[in-house]
Amino acid sequence: MYEIIICDDDSAFASALSSTLSRSFGERDAACHITYYPDPNETLSALERGDRCDLLFQDILFGEEKGIRFAKLLRERNWDLDLVLMSSSERYAVDGYDVRPLHYLLKPLRQPQLEDVLDHFMERHAPQMLTLSTPMGEMRLPIADALYFEVFNRVVELHHRDGTESSWRGTLQELERQLPTGRFVRVHRSYLVNLEHIAVLGRDRLRLTTGDIVPMGRTDFADVQMALAAFDRRRRL
């Protein structure tokens, strides 16, 4: 389910946009939950307490305060969300370029432009697939569902995000050749971890987003640190 925030001081406009978004996501066979805040400070409080937001519709103007200042704060804090800026005037569009918005929409919103925004958003968030060749045949799964691989005595064991496991005969070297560049990192002579799921990087172990603990090789820490930093930079582009 996608988490969407509408931040606009016009409650009637926000209500109409919310209805349109719910219908449009439904037509795409996608679920969404929409939260409305009439002020950027309320949105900021929600994000600071850890509320998830995948897509934010942000009005640029709030009385005499520019919502663009809030948008810049979002980028300074590196919150991972897509931003759509809205305004009744084109004069603020240039200001919005600095915050790398997904789109800039003029009010009143037109349905074709809004649909283009949602198409772009869905394309960006479509699950990337991982294809693995195993002795039993080809295995396909979303990359995000592959938590980590463990290889011991020529047996590959894939730990899935949902707690299940898959195993087959193979080697770490064979596995590495199949994995997409920049998405997995070797953290130990027997382990490859999905960079997306590293929550805490320690000198002798990793904690993953699921709470799983994976050992860290003594000589691998610097390489893992660099790989994680590069992955985070790419994710913010």
Express each pLDDT in 167-177 by its tens digit: 999 998 999 99
- pLDDT recorded at residue 214: 96
- pLDDT recorded at residue 50: 85
- pLDDT recorded at residue 216: 94
Last residue in a domain, options 104, 125, 146: 125
Q: How far is it, in rounded angstroms, from Cα 236 to Cα 50?
A: 18
Q: Name which of 171, 8, 156 is nearest 18 in CA terms.
A: 8
pLDDT at 65 > cutoff 60: no
Total domains in the chain come to 2
Pick from 63-77, 88-102, 118-132, 139-153: least confident: 88-102
Could you tell me if 7 and 121 lie in one domain? yes
Could you tell me if 121 and 134 lie in one domain? no
CATH number at residue 193: 2.40.50.1020
Q: Mean per-residue pLDDT for 15-36?
A: 94
Q: pTM for the whole thing?
A: 0.60
What's the pLDDT band for 131 if we cut at 50, 70, 90? Answer: very high
Pick from 53-62, 73-82, 91-100: least confident: 91-100
- Omega before 135 within 30 of 0, i.e. cis: no
Per DSSP, helices labelled H in the chain are: 11-27, 40-48, 67-76, 93-96, 111-125, 172-178, 221-236
Could you tell me if 15 and 111 lie in one domain? yes
